[in-house]
Amino acid sequence: MEALLTSTLVVALAEIGDKTQLLAILLAVQFRKPLAIIAGIFAATIANHFLAALIGSQAAAFLEGDWFRYLIAASFLLMAAWTLIPDKLDEDERPRMRNGAFLTTLITFFLVEMGDKTQVATIALGAQFEQVALVTLGTT
């Protein structure tokens, strides 16, 4: 239960003001199909966070010892510092959307989440708790 609650809290805080919020608004305005957009966001987030939690869990299985705990603590501190840096969205860049609302949202959200604060947090949480399902559920 600790893995679920900690994961939920960490990612909820990391998502405040994140570029994915802006992307969700952009897609909602562009397509005006809320169910397809919500389904695309959900599917992309589940896939991305599952892979991140799995990578973190597998890394923890290979890397053991006290120094690994310090590495996890340092990654959380770096993520906290990264949270203080605002995301930037270029005004002149408009994505070309040729596919339907669901597929465009799925692909775009999955790619935008790559290397994002929440993905880094999910990897760290997966490594800390080694419970892929609970971390994935909590971070989604």
Q: Can you tell me whether residue 134 is helix, strand or coil?
A: helix
Q: Are 110 and 44 in contact (CB under 8 A)?
A: yes
SS percent in the chain: helix, strand, coil, step 5: 75, 0, 25
Q: Are 9 and 121 in contact (CB under 8 A)?
A: no
- Cβ atoms within 10 Å of 117's Cβ, excluding its own: 23
pLDDT 10s digits, 76-107 = 788 778 778 776 656 555 555 567 999 999 99
20-29, 86-95, 124-133: the lowest-pLDDT one: 86-95
pTM over 0.75: no
Distance CA 105, CA 66 (A): 41
Average of per-residue pLDDT across 34-46: 96
What percent of the chain is predicted at pLDDT more than 70?
Answer: 90
Most confident of 17-31, 45-59, 65-79, 111-125: 45-59
